[in-house]
Structure formats: C-alpha cells, structure tokens
Amino acid sequence: MKKPLETVYKLLEIVEDRKKKDLSLSNLLIGDPNIDPPKSLLKALENSVFDGPNGYSPAKGDPHLIDAIISYDKVKANPSQLIIGNGSKTLVFIALKLLLQPNDKVCLFSPYYPAYQSLLLEFNAQITNLDYTRDYLNEIKKIKPKLVILTSPNNPDGQTFTKIQLQEISDLTKQLNSYFIIDEAYRNFIYDEEVSQDLSDFIYEDHVICLRTFSKALAICGWRIGYCIANTNLIKQMAQTQLSLFNPLNRIMQRALTKYLKNPDIGFNSKSKHIFKSRLNKVCSSFAKRNIKVSSPLGAFYIFLKLNLSDTQDFCIDLATNTGIILWPGYDFGKPSFIRISIAQLEESKIESLIERLTLYLKENKVNII
C-alpha cells in the first residue's frame, strides 16, 4: 500500500525537472489561484510592516481581526467562538487532537480532501467513508461516530451540500452526541446563487465545528490565514494547544487582513468567481466537442473524472513524463479510478489545446473517461 501523497511527490519532482530542462508544462495539480490578490490588501500589507506591535499575537489571534472577520463574513457567533490559525489545516489538526482518542469512530465523506484521511490515520481513528449519493444518514445512525467530517464545496469534485442536507446531518449528530466538522474552504466559489444564499442562514450549533480560510477567496494561499468557529470551550482549548505547539499566526499578516476586511474590494469575490466558473465551463465544453460528457461542478475549481482504470497513479506519472500535463490521481481522495483536474492556474486561452493533448493521449493509450 502506497503512502498518502507518494505519487504526488513524484509528480512534483517531474514538475521541477521539466522546469529545469525548459520542457512544456501544464501543471494542473494544485489549487493555488493564479489571480492577483486585491491591490488594497497588498497595500495594507505594505503599510502593516511599519505598524506595531511586532511581538507574539494572542493565542486565539488578534482580537481586532476576529472582530473584522465576524463583521465581514457575517459570522453568527461572538468573538469567544472564533480562533485564527496558520491556515485551516493547522486548526483541523488541533481540533482532531483534542477530540479524538485511539479507535474512535469517524465518518468521512468520500471523495475527501487528502489531509483528513492522513490526520485520522495519524490519530488511529476507525474511519468509515460515506457516499453522499447513498443513504448516508442511516449509515451515520448505525455507526454512531464520535465525529462526522465533510467539505462543502468539496475538494476534489465540487459537491456542494444544501442547507437542508447540512441541517439533517447537524440534527442527527447532535442527537448522537457527536461532533460535526464542516470545511468551507471553497464557500466563496459556490456557483448556484440560490444555494449560496440559502447556506448563509445555516446555524452553527455548539457541536458543529466550521473551518474557513482566506487562501482561495483572496488568492493568498501562501499567507496561511484560516479560522475556526466552534463552541467557546473548544475554542479555549484550541487556543491553549495552538500556543503550546505552534505559536499564533504572523502578526503583520493579521494586521494587513484586518485593515482590508474593514474596507474590502467589494467586487473582488464576484470577479474571481466568474473567472473560475468561466474556466470550468470552457473545460467542459472542450470535452463536449470531443463527444465526452463532463459536468461542471457545483463549486470549487476542480473537475474529477473517472477513467476505465482500477488505479490512475501510474497513468498520471506516465502522462506527466510524456506530455508535461500534471494531474492528481484519485487514490489520495479515496477514489483510485479518478483523476483531478485543477483549473486554479489554467489560463483560459490554453484550455482548448490542453484538452486536445489530454484526449489524444487518452486515445493513444486506450484510456476512456467513463
């Protein structure tokens, strides 16, 4: 059995090798948007370098930033229910460390973000993968897990849960005295406005843990700013653990984001959402021209395709080596027969030629999208 991300590390080595040799490269591996952050945010960062203080941040994060987040994101919580972390992945680690004991049962919706599987294995959890196309509520009832985890919109397939679906899971987990983690990293990239608006009214009760990040929404993945909404007691424990293990987030970054959120670029989110939706639509239409039906996802910026292979890891290595097209194999998402295409760094003008090269390689190697 291969280790998580083992093939991805090999793909990253191919990327670096092709860069050194100046060979053609279409890196569709990562979800790091290639659009510029808002200019006013970068200006705020420049100004924040000269503002004080420059010592350690409070364990929960800068209280001014917490207040700004609550106002900007219209968070239905008070400051004692928020913590800021070095990206939402760090906050996930802290929450799982506090909540789980070895052999605790956890339900994880599949396909899943690879970090969740890796962390749950690290904490020796008993993992049951749930399929959102089946009767997952009945499955949760039978298992009675300590924790249920989902990402919405989902990475890698864009699946977006409605308010009704989230409420059903929330009600059931509350009844079972379980925790419910909702990862909302792509909440700004829900392409159905009715669903997006409806979700704004969802209530995060005390057993619900919500994870959010500014990485995708403001195109600042490298800044590593995420936050968590949870009950006051858990947030207090998370702050203590963060202080002892990691130290809080960079103070300059927090100051810059605080300034921006108080006076944001109102049109930035809708503009960036339009860019990624347009790319997704063009990828799907390019496949359609070649008589391959691919549905545009409900959210995020990935397309998840099933191939007539039992495992796509070797295929992805061969594709990268021979064409310079870098895709993420489905093994790390719990779906070995799939591949993930990220359009986060895919220029719209290059989509047609890319799909032509990809489909030609598929045909030459007798591999089909099914």
Residue 1: predicted pLDDT: 56
Residue 124: predicted pLDDT: 97
Q: Distance between CA atoms of 169 and 10, rounded to whole angstroms?
A: 38
Assigned token pair, 198: 């409806």
- Kindly report the CA angle at 16 between 10 and 20, in degrees rounded to 5? 145
Q: Distance between CA atoms of 166 and 188, rounded to whole angstroms?
A: 17
- Residue range(s) of every CATH 3.40.640.10 domain in the chain: 39-262
pTM, rounded to two decimals: 0.96
Burial 168-201 (b: 16+ CB within 10 A, else e): ebbebbeebebbbbbbbbbbbbbbeeebbeebee
pLDDT value at 67 more than 60: yes
From the list 312, 218, 328, 318, the residue with the least C-alpha distance to 268 is 218
Q: Distance between CA atoms of 83 and 235, rounded to whole angstroms?
A: 6
pLDDT digit string, tens, across residues 140-177? 999 999 999 999 999 999 999 999 999 999 999 999 99
CATH assignment, 6-31+268-364: 3.90.1150.10
CATH assignment, 39-262: 3.40.640.10
pLDDT digit string, tens, across residues 231-279? 999 999 999 999 999 888 899 999 999 999 999 999 999 999 999 999 9
DSSP 8-state code for residue 67: H
Residue 4: predicted pLDDT: 75
pLDDT value at 2 more than 70: no
pLDDT digit string, tens, across residues 285-341? 999 999 999 999 999 999 999 999 999 999 999 999 999 999 999 999 999 999 999
pLDDT value at 21 more than 60: yes
Residue 202: predicted pLDDT: 93
Q: Using 50, 70 and 90 to split pLDDT, how confident is the model at 369?
A: very high
pLDDT digit string, tens, across residues 77-131? 999 999 999 999 999 999 999 999 999 999 999 999 999 999 999 999 999 999 9
- Residue range(s) of every CATH 3.90.1150.10 domain in the chain: 6-31+268-364
